[in-house]
Chains A and B, each alone.
Chain A
Amino acid sequence: MLEAPFDPVKLAIPFFILAILLEIGLGRLRLASAEYEARDTAASLAMGLLRGIPALLTAGLIFAATVWVWEHRVLTVPFDAWWGWVAIFFLDDLIYYVFHRLSHERRFWWAAHVNHHSSQHYNLSTALRQTWTGGLAGTWLLWLPLAFLGFSPAQIAIQQGISLVYQFWIHTEAVGRMPAWFEAVFNTPSHHRVHHARNPRYLDRNYAGILIIWDKMFGTFQAELDEEKPRYGLIRNLGSFNILTVAFHEWIAIGRDLASARSLREVGGYLFGPPAWSPDGSRDTSKSLRARWAARQSAGATPAE
């Protein structure tokens, strides 16, 4: 099967709308924690609403590439086999972890992903602040091995949709912590608040999609700490609600840096180094911020002599 018989994301849109309205209502009644700023919300929702337009530019290419790889598959995983869905659930989630980590740790892909983190709010509307340039960044290539293994393009698309729908509900402060067993296995609002935080302690942590186990396996897990409330947004927050700025600001910054590059090393660093990489190390990367935070912690913990 090539085309998915249904799109989980489309089916979930009414749920998205109702859930946001519920979160606003609970916040208004002070029954749950929810902070909304109208222009921030408008920017987030507009990013989600209009993402389908730029996606049209690359949808055909992605579909054709996936079909081509699938035509050269080594196995055929039947669409209706339960074990196929179990397998793709885990494989897709592992690929999502890799994609997400790459999208934070290398600037070219960060440029496509940064808009999702550009709100200083963390509510359900933030979940819909989706990328416009993900297709151009080419991270969809990471999913092609699934087609090569024998998962049909439809099955891959459905599983990606299920993952996206799952990740909607974790963008909230209205939910504190889930039961311990759930927190141990699944990505949750608590884990994902850490991911969206810009506190140095929380930077580049919790890349999970559905299962938090990958972060625990690969050493990128950080629990949310009661004594350190997450501060959301970017290391250098955006100074605008303009959705074109939200969508393209990092690409513009890359272009400006490339224009000033004096060597191939600098070109490579600006494109594929960590976000905020600079030739002289004068800009703060996540790594340098974490290192300075750790140094301050050590200094604070050392008894005065």
Chain B
Amino acid sequence: MTEGQPAPRPPSSFRGVRLDAIDIVPDSCTSQEPAIPIPAFLSQLAVSGVAVLVIVALAAAARLARSTPPLDEAAARALLADDFPDAQIDQVWLAADGAAALALSGSQALYLFRLGDAWVARDLAWSDVASAPVRGGRLHLPLSDVSPRLARPALAGWAPETA
């Protein structure tokens, strides 16, 4: 050891693992570059955005969506049974376009609607459905969820008083 020079720090260890501290100055502090290069981030975002558009366009062009033909009563009952396997369905009303169905199940209403190539189901109190307004031939159903909060199916033969 040369006199006048600081003694090197002896490496300590624990079961063979070195315990001496290593440089903890952040790499970002040793250069003038900003920690988050905003222009690079934005350009990456833009390039990725273009890639997303291309993929979505190809996915649409490839026609890989599921087949979701207009509902009939049997299909509506089968789909509702997936979401509400314990429900006994008393009556079903279908939307004129086959994209939705409303069912009475005891004191509950079960509502089914198409979203893209899939189906979404909700349940609500029948009393809310029976008192829901009909405007322009469409029932205005108040759903309690964040999305959607309101459904507006045009149900064929809708007459809650006959249920």
Contact = CB atoms under 8 A, between A and B. Distances in A.
A241 B118 CA distance: 12
Contacts of A74: 14
Interface string B8-25: 000000100111111010
B146 A36 contact: no
Given A37-B116, A52-B45, A240 B14 contact: no
Contacts, number: 128
B117 A37 contact: yes
A253 B22 CA distance: 47
Interface of A: 1-3, 13, 17, 20-21, 24-25, 27-28, 34-42, 45-46, 49, 52, 56, 59, 67, 70-71, 74-78, 120-121, 125, 150, 231, 233, 236-242, 245, 249, 252-253, 256, 292-293, 296
B148 to A, nearest CB: 4
A267 to B, nearest CB: 19
Contact of A77 (B17, B28, B59): B17
Interface stretch (B48-56, B88-96, B154-162): B48-56
Nearest to B59: A36
A237 B120 contact: yes
- Which size class do B's interface residues fall under? 35 or more
A240 B147 contact: yes
A287 to B, nearest CB: 16
Contacts of A67: 24, 26
B18 A240 contact: no
Given A42-B52, A237-B121, A238-B120, A36 B36 contact: no
Interface in B35-59: 36, 41, 45, 48-49, 51-52, 55-59
Nearest to B115: A239
B136 interface: no
Contact of B27 (A3, A78, A242): A3
A49 B26 contact: no
